[in-house]
Amino acid sequence: MHGWTGKLLRINLNDNSAKEENIPEEILRNYLGGRGLGVKLYYDSVSPDIEPFSEENPLIFTVGPLTGTAPMSGRHVAVSKSPLTGTILDSNSGGNWGKEMKYAGYDTIIIEGKAEKPILIKIMDKDVQFESAEGLWGKDVKYTTKKLEKYGSVSTIGFAGEKGVLYASIMNDLTHTLGRGGLGAIMGSKNLKAIVIRGSKKPSVHDVSKYKEAMKDMIKLLEASPPINKGLRVFGTAMLYDIVNYLDIMPTNNYNDVHYDGGNKLSGDYIISHYKIRHEGCWGCPIKCKKWDAKRNLELPEYETIWAFGPNIENGNYEKIVDANVRCNRNGMDTITTGATIAMWRELKGENYLERIDEVIEHEDLKLGSMRIAKKYGKAKLRTDIKGLELPGYDPRGLYGQALSYATSNRGGCHLRAYMVAPEIIGKPKLIHRLNPEGKAGLVVIFQNLNAAIDSLVLCKFTGFAMTEVEYAKLVSSITGVEYKAEDILKVGDRIYNLERLFNIEAGIGGEEDTLPEKIFSGENAMSREIFEEMLKQYYEFREWENGIPTDEKLRKLGIK
């Protein structure tokens, strides 16, 4: 087998056991790896009504057939049921951990059960060791990482995961994040502090000649892409700040406005002009979009974090955002939900926790996320979430495709399910009118399917600024020896999206949740509810869903039983 290892490592924390299993080749072919493989294995192994913090709830880590081989393929995915939203949740992180997992010989690691006391796992190729983590429990991400990194790549939780914050992240390689939805809290509920992994076996390639040709095409396209070379490589994701604000799609003051006047020192241009920048990247990445302050050896925030702790709470002080980002990373907290929750509390109670991030972890309300706060205090009109997951820093009132993508996202208010920001703002693969609803439904379906496949290969989303399903198909075919065409890549994504939807429906989250917050349909900058509902109707038709539910015929076409 090429590309895939075909191996699954099943770890049970109840008795500290580890056993290797084979993954059926049919599942690998149909779901690729990463997000798709994790969703398939999770769907087949649990009841949708499982409690996220139950010891029977597994936490599944996966990599893809391209991991550790192609450029920008150092990523990995984790899948479980979100304690924040109750939906099936996949999260995707960069760094080196995914590459080490692949080199250790595994496509999947499944964590089951619950340790009696804090524990850590060391995986060195086929050698699996369990050690006490009692000396690390109560320590932050930086401390834990520095203590363990001599053994391999470190994936760990911080205080937030230990304390059950519903949006706690899992952090790997110090600053890379399995964020959104609270997988860190699941890891904490299992008393699992960290997983350290190191591998030595490089995956094999089926056709080296075709692989080199596909790689050559990939590198050419990446080098020829302005958003990559003139944007991400220079500014990082902070390149988005000025254009988003200029277009009046900058959610401001907890989504009460669409433009922020006080952020002239938050743009990518200002940052690179006033800081000594060190460019960092994930394994195998030629772009290096992560930016560090070289003088202080300090990670600088990405666009979403700048927005969450900037315009969203009307803060124009960049240094306060840097500090909030560092604290979230050290504590293991999702910055989007943290910022959105602080913004909600600020509007509701008049208190601003920006400079008190550490206190959020112990706060009775703030640790639960914004949706639960709104429900507790009877303030549904203040909500800025979809299906319990808070919207990020692109206002749907000015991006109709992104609005539809938000509403129909299986994991809630996520911009990365289709990332319609690319065609509606950046012009990749082609610029389309952001306020024209015509044709948006079909495009959203295509982009959702494509991104599900990219998350399963597993490649960085930014490759989508340069590549299409044609190039992805050539690359994975050359590595695995399985012949994929462009339409096969999209069908894999379609299969994944429908399986996620089935899980949510069986968990009680149906089509009635495919909507936007009330704030989006009201006020001075309101989006037309009529336009939105017509787009949603067309979307269901393209998906072959009835009221948000996949039809039997649709499932038959995808081979889903």
Give me the phi and psi of 547, to 5 degrees please: 55, 40
pLDDT(372) > 90: yes
Instruction: State the Cα–Cα distance between residues 216 and 201, nearest whole angstrom.
Output: 24
The 10s digit of each residue's pLDDT in 175-204 is: 999 999 999 999 999 999 999 999 999 999
Question: Please, how many CA atoms are within 13 Å of residue 95, restricted to the half-sphere of its CB?
Answer: 22
Alpha helices, DSSP H only, in 174-260?
A: 183-189, 208-223, 226, 233-235, 240-246
Long-range contacts of 75-78 (CB under 8 A, 24+ apart): 75/34, 75/282, 75/458, 75/459, 75/460, 76/34, 76/101, 76/172, 76/458, 77/34, 77/35, 77/38, 77/455, 77/456, 77/458, 78/38, 78/170, 78/178, 78/183
The 10s digit of each residue's pLDDT in 390-420 is: 999 999 999 999 999 999 999 999 999 999 9
**Using alpha carbons only, what angle is made at residue 381 by residues 338 and 82, rounded to the nearest 5 degrees?**
40
Average pLDDT of the segment spanning 108-115: 98
The pLDDT value recorded for residue 437 is 97
| Contact (CB, 8 A) for 457 and 66 | yes
Instruction: State the Cα–Cα distance between residues 239 and 228, nearest whole angstrom.
Output: 10
Instruction: State the Cα–Cα distance between residues 155 and 169, nearest whole angstrom.
Output: 10
Beta bridge partners of 80: 89
Average pLDDT of the segment spanning 245-274: 95
CB atoms inside a 10 Å sphere around CB 109: 25
| Contact (CB, 8 A) for 267 and 326 | no
Instruction: State the Cα–Cα distance between residues 458 and 546, nearest whole angstrom.
Output: 31
Instruction: State the Cα–Cα distance between residues 276 and 265, nearest whole angstrom.
Output: 15
Q: Which two tokens stand for residue 381?
A: 């009109």
pLDDT(228) > 90: yes
Average pLDDT of the segment spanning 475-487: 97
pTM listed for this prediction: 0.97
Within 8 A by CB and 6+ apart from 380, the residues are 374, 518
| Contact (CB, 8 A) for 169 and 332 | yes
Give all domains of the chain, ordered by start, each with its CATH number: 7-198 (3.60.9.10), 236-385 (1.10.569.10), 394-465+485-561 (1.10.599.10)
pLDDT(12) > 90: yes
pLDDT(9) > 90: yes
The 10s digit of each residue's pLDDT in 122-177 is: 999 999 999 999 999 999 999 999 999 999 999 999 999 999 999 999 999 999 99
Q: What distance separates the 2 farthest-apart alpha carbons in the chain?
A: 63
Pairing of strands 290-293, 7-12: unpaired
The pLDDT value recorded for residue 270 is 94
Instruction: State the Cα–Cα distance between residues 209 and 137, nearest whole angstrom.
Output: 49
Instruction: State the Cα–Cα distance between residues 89 and 416, nearest whole angstrom.
Output: 13
Q: CA-CA distances (angstroms) from residue 422 to 14, 240, 430?
A: 45, 11, 8
The pLDDT value recorded for residue 561 is 82
Mean pLDDT, the chain, rounded, equals 96
pLDDT(332) > 90: yes
Q: 124 by DSSP, 3-state: which?
A: strand
Average pLDDT of the segment spanning 348-365: 96
Rg (CA), the chain: 22
DSSP for 257-314, written as a single string: BS--TT-TTSSHHHHHHHS-EEEE--TT-SS--EEEETTTTEEPP-HHHHHHTTGGGT
Estimate to the nearest angstrom the gap between the alpha carbon of 349 and the chain centroid: 30
H or E segment and range at residue 176? strand 176-178
pLDDT band for 116, please (50, 70, 90 cuts): very high
The 10s digit of each residue's pLDDT in 72-83 is: 999 999 999 999
Q: CA-CA distances (angstroms) from residue 521 to 420, 462, 505, 516?
A: 20, 31, 25, 8
Percentage of the chain beyond pLDDT 70 is: 100
Question: Please, how many CA atoms are within 13 Å of residue 125, restricted to the half-sphere of its CB?
Answer: 4
The 10s digit of each residue's pLDDT in 23-53 is: 999 999 999 999 999 999 999 999 999 999 9
